Structure 1
Amino acid sequence: MRHLIFMTASLLLASAAAHAVDEATAIELAKTNGCLSCHSAKEKIVGPSYIAVADRYKDDKDAVPSLVQSIQRGSKGKWGRTPMPAHDTMGQADLKTLAEWVMSIRP
């Protein structure tokens, strides 16, 4: 029984590590794709801060897919009158990395 508990705990830790957000990669994606021209972690620039986004979606089980869609297709009216341009040339893996990273940011 002890062996089974250890194996289960090991699998859970490995799974969490596999799904952990690679912050350095996400920041590089944000820089490369112009995200940091309009957003910052803590303060509103043109668009909302990443902390504000994470806070708004913290209880939404579909937050990551919703953010992926907003990043890819752009959005209008969610955070005021200024629209967010589409980033439709980004791949799904990069979009997901950015969305997961935004959701991981805490004050």
Structure 2
Amino acid sequence: MMKLTLSILLASCAMTALPVMASESGADLAKKNNCMNCHGVDKKIVGPAFKDIAKKYKGNAEAVALLSKKVKDGGSGVWGPIPMSPNKAVSDADIKVMVEYVLALN
């Protein structure tokens, strides 16, 4: 009986030590939040291709913070005259996952 109790206790401790994984990937979040309506992975639609964004910001240590702010607040002038709409309803955590996904396409 003692062995069974110890086994159950150890198993439950091991389960609580598992890392929490993001429930959605950057690609999934980009689709869910309608980013793909204006951005393609490999081609410009209304906004620049994700791969072009990754190339432009390669090596920029501030890229995640800078692009996260642009996604949240919107912006214009960097990629042409058409402004990007703000995404105030998207959580900062989801924006960070999406931006990291885009930058990893390098």
After TM superposition, the score normalised by the length of structure 1 is 0.75
Q: CA deviation at 1:90?
A: 0.9
Q: CA deviation at 1:65?
A: 0.6
Match of 2:65 in 1: 65
Equivalent residue pairs, number: 85
Q: Percent identity?
A: 34
- 2:25 is paired with a residue whose SS is helix
Amino acid at match of 2:83: P
The unaligned stretches of length 5 or more in structure 1 are 1-17
Q: Which runs of 4+ in 1 moved over 6 A?
A: none
The unaligned stretches of length 5 or more in structure 2 are 1-18
Is 1:86 paired with 2:67? Answer: no
- 2:59 is paired with a residue whose SS is coil
Q: CA deviation at 1:59?
A: 2.1
Match of 1:39 in 2: 39
Match of 1:50 in 2: 50
After TM superposition, the score normalised by the length of structure 2 is 0.75
Amino acid at match of 2:69: Q
Max Rg structure: 2
Amino acid at match of 1:29: L
Q: Which has the higher helix share?
A: 1
